[in-house]
Amino acid sequence: MAIVKEISCVVSTYTNAQGATKNRYQRIGSIIQTQRGEMLKLDVIPLREGGWDGWAYLNDPKPKEYQGLPKDDDGDIAF
């Protein structure tokens, strides 16, 4: 099964060093290609102050090297 799109939504805001307000996003699931067509897989329901408004972004999948936890040169998870 191949990931067609990643699904993310705004879960909070923050102020950067320059004083600009920015959105913080969280990946909540994927659209995957199956033998019977595309399927939606939600991994989490986002929690947000005031409740989630139901809107989400569909983005192209990130390359494999950017997915998951950071790893060191040996391939182990860096802590």
Of 33, 28, 79, which Cα lies nearest the Cα of 52? 28
Side-chain-side CA neighbours of 23 within 13 Å: the count stands at: 9
pLDDT at 79: 44
> Is 0.75 surpassed by the pTM of this model?
no
Query: Is 77 a residue whose pLDDT tops 50?
Result: no
Strands (E), the chain: 2-15, 21-34, 37-42, 57-59
pLDDT category at 27 given cuts 50, 70, 90 is very high
pLDDT at 62: 84
Backbone angles phi, psi at 36, to 5 degrees: -100, 10
Query: Is 49 a residue whose pLDDT tops 60?
Result: yes
Give ∠ CA 50-53-56 in degrees, rounded to 5.
Answer: 130
